[in-house]
């Protein structure tokens, strides 16, 4: 019950913190979702075109990678459109989808198979950062340091907090930029493994720690857990991961 109260408080704080940013703007009518893959492994780009309230299908959408046009696609009746893409270079690339005057952007993280990834759950990893400036500063500093040794992937568990809102908050608080993907249980981990992603560690709630037992060796949580290591703060996580680094 106590953890549930913390999550409700996190959600309320997130919306309050972002309210002024979005009060005078509308949500984009074109959405493109972040993706993760490894070098030479195909990835499926997913686009959604929306009207004011509902998906709007049958729209022509131009897809760009780092401002270079890739292809034009047509969304289906449900508003979704798809495009297979094989990245030729590693790194973080920006994907832009344009339909008429509307546009949306996302990221593709392309990894070399030897690169180690640290997954960070937004809700389970940052709930205390929203309530304490010191914890926020510590988490920001540690993640910035870790991003020099590992690749960071952010996980979003609550679907009613969109990727766009999550990324706005991360940018507003100066956290390292990376993809934000939706947590879909072990299906998320299986999909990453199938693409050859080297899952080195995960930081999050007990639910994610328990789900990742068979996939990730190094599992850390700020909550009490029997399926991973309970840590006191971000500095402890940094120390533990540095001790594991070659």
Q: Say how far apart CA 104 and CA 145 lie, in whole Å.
A: 30
Are 97 and 117 found together in one domain?
Answer: no
24 assigned to some structural domain: no
Are 128 and 10 found together in one domain?
Answer: yes
Bin 82: left if φ > 0, else alpha if -120 < ψ < 50, else beta. beta
215 assigned to some structural domain: yes
| Burial classification of residue 35, based on how many CB atoms lie within 10 Å of its CB (0-12 exposed, 13-18 middle, 19 or more buried) | buried
Are 154 and 228 found together in one domain?
Answer: yes
What does the pLDDT read at residue 33?
Answer: 95
232 assigned to some structural domain: yes
The residues that bridge with 48 in the sheet, in sequence order, are 31, 80
Could you tell me the CATH number of the domain that includes residue 51?
2.60.40.10
Are 146 and 191 found together in one domain?
Answer: yes
Q: Say how far apart CA 163 and CA 143 lie, in whole Å.
A: 19
Are 155 and 204 found together in one domain?
Answer: yes
What does the pLDDT read at residue 230?
Answer: 96
Of the three residues 111, 142, 175, the one that is the final residue of a domain is 111
Are 236 and 192 found together in one domain?
Answer: yes
191 assigned to some structural domain: yes
Are 119 and 205 found together in one domain?
Answer: yes
Phi, psi torsion values for 70, nearest 5 degrees: -95, -55
Are 167 and 98 found together in one domain?
Answer: no
Could you tell me the CATH number of the domain that includes residue 200?
3.40.50.1000
Element (H, E) at 152: strand 151-156
How many structural domains comprise the chain? Answer: 2
CA atoms within 13 A on the CB side of 181: 22
52 assigned to some structural domain: yes
Range of the domain at 231: 2-18+112-244
Cβ neighbours for 120, distance < 8 A, ≥ 6 positions apart: 126, 143, 152, 153, 154, 155, 202, 203, 204
Are 158 and 168 found together in one domain?
Answer: yes
pLDDT tens digit at each of 246 positions of the chain: 444 444 444 554 454 444 444 433 444 489 999 999 999 999 999 999 988 778 888 999 999 999 899 999 999 999 999 999 999 999 999 999 999 889 999 999 999 999 999 999 998 878 766 657 788 888 999 999 999 999 999 999 876 677 888 899 899 999 999 999 999 999 999 999 999 999 999 999 999 999 999 999 999 999 999 999 999 999 999 999 988 766
40 assigned to some structural domain: yes
Of the three residues 68, 92, 111, the one that is the final residue of a domain is 111
Are 105 and 179 found together in one domain?
Answer: no
pTM score? 0.86
Are 195 and 83 found together in one domain?
Answer: no
Pairing of strands 102-111, 91-99: antiparallel
What does the pLDDT read at residue 16?
Answer: 45
């Amino acid at each position: 019950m106590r953890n549930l109260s913390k999550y409700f408080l996190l959600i309320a704080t997130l919306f309050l913190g972002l309210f002024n940013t979005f009060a005078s703007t509308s949500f984009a009518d074109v959405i493109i979702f972040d993706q993760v893959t490894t070098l030479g492994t195909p990835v499926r780009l997913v686009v959604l075109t929306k009207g004011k309230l509902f998906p709007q299908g049958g729209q022509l959408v131009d897809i760009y990678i780092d401002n270079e046009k890739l292809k034009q696609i047509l969304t289906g009746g449900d508003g979704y459109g798809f495009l297979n893409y094989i990245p030729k270079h590693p790194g973080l690339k920006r994907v832009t989808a344009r339909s008429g005057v509307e546009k949306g952007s996302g990221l593709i993280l392309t990894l070399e198979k030897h690169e180690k990834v640290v997954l960070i759950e937004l809700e389970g990893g940052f709930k205390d950062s929203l309530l304490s400036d010191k914890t926020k500063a510590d988490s920001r500093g540690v993640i910035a340091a870790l991003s020099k040794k590992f690749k960071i992937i952010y996980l979003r568990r609550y679907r009613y907090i969109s990727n766009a809102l999550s990324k706005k908050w991360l940018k507003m608080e100066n956290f390292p930029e990376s993809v934000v993907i939706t947590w879909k249980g072990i299906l998320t981990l299986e999909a990453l493994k199938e693409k050859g992603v080297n899952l080195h560690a995960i930081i999050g709630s007990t639910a994610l720690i328990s789900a990742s037992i068979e996939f990730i060796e190094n599992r850390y949580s700020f909550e009490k857990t029997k399926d991973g290591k309970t840590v006191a703060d971000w500095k402890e996580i940094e120390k533990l991961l540095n001790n594991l680094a070659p």
